[in-house]
Amino acid sequence: MSDLLLRGLDDALKCKLQEAAKRNGRSLSQEALALLRRVLLSTQGDQREMAGTHLRRILGEAHFEDDELQAIETFRKSPDRAPPSFE
C-alpha cells in the first residue's frame, strides 16, 4: 500500500473531513480514503448509480403533477418523427 501526503488543505475543508470522520466512526485517513474511493469509483461506467437514483437524489421529494405525467405518456405513445436528411 502507498501513502499520500496532502499539503495546503484549508482549515474549513479539514474541519468538514473531521466532522464526517467522527459522524462515520472513522479516522481522518479512513474517511479521506472512503471519500476518494466513492468519488473515483462513481466516475467509472459500471460503478455509476442508476439514472433514477441520481434523479431522486437531485429532486428530493419533488414529484410530477398528474398533467405532467399525462404529457409524458402522450409523448411516449406518439409516433417517431422522420430522421433528418443531410442532403
- Cell triple for 37: 474511493
In a domain, 20, yes or no: yes
pTM (whole model) above 0.85: no
Which range of residues forms the domain containing residue 32? 11-76
- What confidence tens digit (pLDDT) does each residue in 54-65 have? 888 888 888 889
Total tally of structural domains belonging to the chain: 1
Q: The C-alpha cell of 18 is what?
A: 473531521
In a domain, 83, yes or no: no
Lowest mean pLDDT among 1-5, 10-14, 42-46: 42-46
Gap between the Cα atoms of 77 and 61, Å rounded: 27
The answer to the question of residue 34 being in a domain is: yes
Tell me if 21 sits within 8 A of 34, measured CB to CB: no
